[in-house]
Structure 1
Amino acid sequence: MGVCLCKDKVDDEVLDDSGPFTNNTTDSLRCERIERLSERVDQLVKETLEVIATIDNDDPETPNSMLLLHDITDRPKGWLCLVRSLIRVIPLDHPMGPSVITLLLDDSPLPSKDSVIEVAEMIKTDTTTTTPCERNLCVILGCLAEKLAGPCSIAILTDTTLSYLLKNITQETPKDVMLFSLVALEKFAQTAENKSTIKRKLSSYPEHPLLRLEKYVDEMKDFTMRQIGFCAQWSLDNYFLIENRKYTYEISNVEHINVMLNTKDVSEYLKISGDGLEARCDSYSFESVRSTFNVKSGAWYFECLIITSGVMQIGWAQKESHFLSNDGYGIGDDAFSVSFDGCRNLVWHNAKSMPINLATWKAGSICGCYINLDTKEIIFSLDGVEENVVLDDIFSDLGNGFFPAASFMSFQQCRFNFGGEPYKYPPNRTFNVFNDCGNLDPQEKVVLPRHLFLEELRKLSVTEDSCTLCFDATASIKLLPCRHTGFCSNCSSQLQICPICRSDIVNVEIVQEITNTDSTAS
């Protein structure tokens, strides 16, 4: 403990502008203190990366390394020290690397505008000379674009930042750098002024860069390029619209698809492909989705193609299972669901985990999910190797039956096969095929881009003072400090950030008269 106190004292000296760097402080002593702090932050980041992959319950104590980093980042010098550490320390091949960057930045206090601008200036330094460093910097830029609203987000998208990100998607750059540059551009576009700037720059190229990249959306051998194709297509559908380009849902062949992911039963920031079978999360929250078809009896099986090797929880969920994405609750984190996490080799149920004797999944792996509601049997498999899971309590009340379901940590993606195409590793037992039994009306197969979906909602017959989220209860809440309105008390109680400007919600205020027009004012 004495050593820790000594280190804390050193940190305070370095972080406190009024203390260490006086006229009597030598340059060598100053550099020594900064170097010691940097080494310590590097160590804490590595400890977090190591421990985060071993957390095996849903509500653990926060790792000590994260608590210490939070204290250090409470001051600008400490926050910048963390950013520099994340750039140089997080390895390229760790499946949870980008997610841990997002987690640590989200857990840190909001940076000052000066600190944000200094991050943008890092692009000009020689810290981004290796693929891991460049990839990590792009992840950080995207995280800041998502976390910060308004002027700060605009401030970090300097000409240098934008040129750097565009260079990464238009020239021959490492694929991981290209992917996270694309994600960063999309997150910057969540601010209207940034979106106009980026769209204008993209349109100036002889061949639109995203049109070239979206062709990789069905790539079956190079899974990083497949992610790039998916993200490019999503951006073209939702942010960087091109005149006369058809939306993905308009050209997706869904004629023989009878079961897909339910776009009306999904947490807010999960991305779903135009054919309703592929899902991806690029948000810092834990996003979840169920299928359109549920089962109450008999044996059933579906498969998932693993496109990224990080944390996803894939399995089964009843209607009673709740998605609490900002709190990290997903499939397997309540009594009404069960899931397999092939990154950490765990089965989750009721917020408890148990080890499973299967290999660690990787890009290209096939995750199989089998359930028999008559014999109360659950089996998960990876590339045909099966493991039986004994969970009698989950069958005690079938209620509305079970849906195929999944939750996704940041930057994770997979594709579902409900039987619309041959299974890769069908179980050696009798089972029903979802696609043979489901039924969807043509309109139910349409996966609208988010802006079109919101436009359709506005056309619904609702009263002028309805909540802009549920369109049911009366809007009576003003969010503070941003002062955006148009939300009912129930919806606002589930929000942590404003859906309009994405700033943190500190408090709410009850108001008397709010209209939907008010809620969209900036």
Structure 2
Amino acid sequence: SQDALQKLTEILNLSGAAACRDACHPAKHRNTTAVLGCLAEKLAGPASIGLLSPGILEYLLHSLNFQSHPTVMLFALIALEKFAQTSENKMTVSESCISDQLSLLEKWTDNPDYLKRQVGFCAQWSLDNLFLKEGRPFTYEKVDLTNIRAMLNSNDVSEYLKISPHGLEARCDASSFESVRCTFCVDSGVWYYEVTVITSGVMQIGWATKDSKFLNHEGYGIGDDEYSCAYDGCRQLIWYNARSKPHSHPCWKEGDTIGFLLDLQEKQMIFYLNGNQLPAEKQVFSSAVSGFFAAASFMSYQQCEFNFGAKPFKYPPAMKFSTFNDYAFLTAEEKIILPRHRRLALLKQVSIRENCCTLCCDEVADTELRPCGH
């Protein structure tokens, strides 16, 4: 209720000065910013507007300063993203000149410190999608994609996953289980790709066909149906058909390299952690024998980077294999990952004939539902 939010605001008593207190205990500020982000996501609309008091806004903005711990900066930025889901809040945050600070933080996108790298990723995404800075070109307009022939597919992804402009890094900050497939499909031969773990939480990464469904709000992702199989290094599990079994690898950590080998001749998948392989997995081939894509699902606050062969692998298998980047092809237009507001603007330009089916918006309508008349 509005009264409960008002009481919470009074109890927290947040301000710019509060962001500077207890700087040696970043966990307190991280937890505070995380709670604010969760509330903003769940209460989008008038309640979110009421929650973003001047004191809370000042607290979150001060938490983005370089004096703050990177984990506090990260969750403060995510909280501001959540508040910006409501247009009035978005305008309020944008007017605070947040884009100036984000322009400094986006320089961390390739930082060897994986926590700072997350801050850089989110700062760049926010500048491209939410808090636009006048005179700053969008990242997709300046990124060099010359040598990239396979990437994560921005047209084959669940709704809240963030994909980098070069199409090789993904992150989830939603409370749902977000999934994506890559742009290249394989039907025969032996294939390999690698993933660098940026965060060590729950992700299910592996292989999936087009028949594998993304049910993000129900918590179903890669490895949760008969058409996909996934490696989970956080919970030390292999997932297939929504059932899991333990594997012998230790828990993955930031900076680890996970290898994914698909052998369609022998009908087996092999997973590697920093070059150490597990026994082959074969159960998925009882339902699918071709049409496989690299694919992944992400829980909240998780991020990783994919290598489909555009750069040397860290732990290439001993056997002969092919890479997506050697065989795939994308036009310059297909490589572009547009910011969401640009994508929405293009959708608004699409004209739909008056006699079109109201479900597919493609074919001419030839059926009427009764009694509603649709």
Shared fold (TM-score greater than 0.5)?
Answer: yes
Contact 2:226 2:287 in 1 (8 A): no
- 1 CA distance for matches of 2:178 and 2:273? 22
- 2 CA distance for matches of 1:415 and 1:360? 18
AA at the equivalent of 2:121: F
1:465/1:182 CA distance change after superposition, 3 Å = farther
Contact 2:84 2:93 in 1 (8 A): yes
Find the counterpart in structure 2 of residue 436 from structure 1: 326
AA at the equivalent of 1:208: D
1:458 paired to 2:348: yes
Find the counterpart in structure 2 of residue 63 from structure 1: none
- 1 CA distance for matches of 2:259 and 2:363? 41
Deviations 1:297-331 (A, max 9, x none): 11110000100010000000011000000000000
Aligned with residue 342 of structure 1, among 216, 222, 233 = 233
Find the counterpart in structure 1 of residue 298 from structure 2: 408
RMSD: 2.3
Bigger Cα displacement from structure 2, 328-337 vs 113-122: 113-122
Find the counterpart in structure 2 of residue 117 from structure 1: 6
AA at the equivalent of 1:183: I
- 1 CA distance for matches of 2:315 and 2:355? 52
- 2 CA distance for matches of 1:185 and 1:403? 34
- 2 CA distance for matches of 1:474 and 1:326? 32
- 2 CA distance for matches of 1:272 and 1:122? 37
What runs of 5+ residues in structure 1 fail to find an aligned partner? 1-111, 476-488, 490-509, 514-522
Contact 2:262 2:270 in 1 (8 A): yes
AA at the equivalent of 2:8: V
AA at the equivalent of 1:407: S
Aligned with residue 100 of structure 2, among 195, 208, 224 = 208
- 1 CA distance for matches of 2:285 and 2:373? 46
1:465 shift after superposition: 8.3
1:356 paired to 2:247: yes
Find the counterpart in structure 2 of residue 486 from structure 1: none
1:396 shift after superposition: 3.1
1:425/1:399 CA distance change after superposition, 3 Å = closer
- 1 CA distance for matches of 2:364 and 2:74? 42
1:256/1:185 CA distance change after superposition, 3 Å = same
1:402/1:458 CA distance change after superposition, 3 Å = same
AA at the equivalent of 2:192: Y
SS of residue paired to 1:370: strand
Deviations 1:352-386 (A, max 9, x none): 00101111111111111111011012111111111
- 2 CA distance for matches of 1:424 and 1:467? 50
Q: Which runs of 4+ in 1 moved over 6 A?
A: 125-128, 465-470, 510-513
Find the counterpart in structure 1 of residue 216 from structure 2: 325
Bigger Cα displacement from structure 2, 246-255 vs 120-129: 120-129
Find the counterpart in structure 2 of residue 162 from structure 1: 57
Which protein has the larger Cα radius of gyration, Structure 1 or Structure 2? Answer: 1
5 Å-filtered alignment, 1:264-275, equals 264-275=155-166
Aligned with residue 300 of structure 1, among 191, 204, 223 = 191
1:357/1:447 CA distance change after superposition, 3 Å = same
What runs of 5+ residues in structure 2 fail to find an aligned partner? none
Deviations 1:315-349 (A, max 9, x none): 00011000000000000000000000100000000
AA at the equivalent of 1:118: K
Aligned with residue 247 of structure 1, among 121, 135, 138 = 138
User: Which structure is higher in RCO with an 8 Å CA cutoff and minimum separation 6?
Assistant: 2
1:148 paired to 2:51: no
AA at the equivalent of 2:339: P
SS of residue paired to 1:265: strand
5 Å-filtered alignment, 1:17-28, equals none
SS of residue paired to 2:248: coil
Find the counterpart in structure 2 of residue 288 from structure 1: 179
AA at the equivalent of 1:184: A
- 2 CA distance for matches of 1:474 and 1:131? 59
Find the counterpart in structure 1 of residue 264 from structure 2: 373
SS of residue paired to 1:231: helix
- 1 CA distance for matches of 2:201 and 2:35? 18
Bigger Cα displacement from structure 2, 291-300 vs 451-460: 451-460
1:137 paired to 2:27: no
Identity %: 51
1:156/1:223 CA distance change after superposition, 3 Å = same
1:256 shift after superposition: 0.9
Deviations 1:65-114 (A, max 9, x none): xxxxxxxxxxxxxxxxxxxxxxxxxxxxxxxxxxxxxxxxxxxxxxx222
Contact 2:224 2:239 in 1 (8 A): yes
5 Å-filtered alignment, 1:489-500, equals none
Aligned residue pairs total 364
AA at the equivalent of 1:435: N
SS of residue paired to 1:119: helix
SS of residue paired to 1:442: coil
Find the counterpart in structure 2 of residue 46 from structure 1: none
1:386/1:451 CA distance change after superposition, 3 Å = same
1:384/1:143 CA distance change after superposition, 3 Å = same
1:171 shift after superposition: 4.4
SS of residue paired to 1:279: strand
- 1 CA distance for matches of 2:184 and 2:337? 16
Contact 1:120 1:157 in 2 (8 A): no
| TM-score normalised by L of structure 2 | 0.92
Find the counterpart in structure 2 of residue 279 from structure 1: 170
1:400/1:378 CA distance change after superposition, 3 Å = closer
1:177 paired to 2:72: yes
1:256 paired to 2:155: no
